[in-house]
Amino acid sequence: MTHVSSLYLHIPFCQHLCNYCDFYKRKLDSAHHQFEDFHQFLKESVSVHQNFLNSHHFTWAPLETVYLGGGTPSLWGEEGAAFFNKELLNLSLAKNAEFTMEIDPGTWTHEMMMAWKGIGLNRISVGTQSLDPQFLKVLDRIHTLEDTLNFLTYLKENNWNYSLDFLLGVPYSQEKKRDIRSELETLLQYSPKHISLYILNARSKYPHIQQMPDDGYVREEYLFVSEFLKSKGFHHYEVSNFALPGFESKHNLKYWRGESVAALGPTGTGYLSLSPVEAVRYKWKVTHPEFEIEKLTEKELSLERLYLLLRTSDGLILGDEFSCVVDSWVQQKYALVNEGRVTLTALGFLMLDSLMDDIFRFEHLVKSR
Ligand SMILES: C[S@@+](CC[C@H](N)C(=O)[O-])C[C@H]1O[C@@H](n2cnc3c(N)ncnc32)[C@H](O)[C@@H]1O
Ligand code: SF4
């Protein structure tokens, strides 16, 4: 028997649908009916999921990490805490479990926070994105600067461990000279322990597609944030993530290290590591409590592991056969090698996809010789 001790739950409700968002969500119009349907979906999912785990000889161990993502999970409110406790926490939490919820400014109440804290919530991820009202507007966010500062004050005063989401590559940021340094300086006054840094990914129909900053500008923004946060004691421990020592996301580290993470909720994607050379990924459908399964071959798994390890500051030991690829990365300041371990620099993190192409090309070359 193998164990799974991490759970991701996708909660697909938002007050407003931001026009840039890639994630699965529905506008919350009628909380009562939508929650009833969602609860029914989850109840049915739990037994489907249990059969799936049984068929792969997996059992639950006390949960070491729980991550409630969305959507806007906080909109589930106290009713959500009661449902989660009754229907899902029979799985039980491990001692020192990390239990995270994504919360957008303006979507919480003290009572709701207490209800979730009462069942183990101990980490918050705040959908901040920017502290500049003009960019919040461009981003189609409905929260205000005041909403954000109120929430951060509450979190700081009540000693919550929390992370912030911050967006780069925002439309108009180049021409309006977005002052990232001043936004970050203000944010740091509220003592976040962790910051997730995303670069806006715009689809062709995005309304501000013509106002996107150019790649060189976004690259400078990213490198600036990395240097700035490192100078304030944060560790750039993954492409998009920074943490003060000891505050890395345990849940996300499980994905990046190829460990099993179960998932529930529409579009929630789980991963079971069956053996060192076998794994399955499953993604929940949005209309029925069913999922699609993808079996990873040994080859796919080894490339994925390589990609995931390069994403983090763990890095990896690349075999001698790759030494000429790694040497060229070091020369271009994309990587560092320490006692045989290759780790990427901030510039390398930014170039990760093209570095993976180097590996594919090289492998192909070796094979075709
Ligand atoms: C899906 S949201 C869920 C949490 C919360 N509702 C929020 O807005 O922060 C998680 C993160 O994904 C980011 N995100 C959504 N669409 C994105 C896109 N097209 N490009 C980059 N980041 C995106 C959001 O800005 C947010 O930081
Ligand atoms: S609040 Fe978050 S999840 Fe909802 S639409 Fe906006 S970015 Fe997407």
Place of tokens 């799936």: 52
Which atom of ligand 2 lies closest to the CA of 141? 6
Rg of the chain on CA atoms, in Å: 21
Task: Burial-class residue 188 by CB neighbours within 10 Å (0-12, 13-18, 19+).
Answer: middle
Q: Per-domain residue ranges for the chain?
A: 2-254, 315-369
Round the average pLDDT of the chain to a whole number and report it: 95
> How many angstroms does the Cα of residue 128 sit away from the middle of ligand 2?
11
> Which residues does ligand 2 sit against, CB inside 6 Å?
14, 17-18, 21, 23, 25, 70-72, 104, 127
Domain 2-254 carries which CATH code? Answer: 3.20.20.70
CA distances in angstroms from 362 to 317, 322, 342, 356, listed in the order given = 17, 8, 17, 10
pTM higher than 0.75: yes
Which pLDDT value is given to residue 323? 85
Which pLDDT value is given to residue 2? 92
Which pLDDT value is given to residue 362? 74
Which pLDDT value is given to residue 245? 98
Which pLDDT value is given to residue 45? 96
Which pLDDT value is given to residue 317? 86
If we measure between CA atoms, which residue out of 285, 287, 262, 283 comes closest to residue 272?
262
Contacting residues for 186 by C-beta, under 8 A, at least 6 apart? 131
Give the pair of three-digit tokens for residue 27.
């506008």
Which atom of ligand 1 lies closest to the CA of 21? 16
Which pLDDT value is given to residue 322? 80
Q: Using 70 as the pLDDT threshold, list the residues of the chain that sit under it.
A: 363-369
273, 261 contact by CB (below 8 A): no
Which pLDDT value is given to residue 150? 98
> How many angstroms does the Cα of residue 21 sit away from the middle of ligand 1?
6
If we measure between CA atoms, which residue out of 145, 166, 138 comes closest to residue 18?
138
> How many angstroms does the Cα of residue 34 sit away from the middle of ligand 2?
17
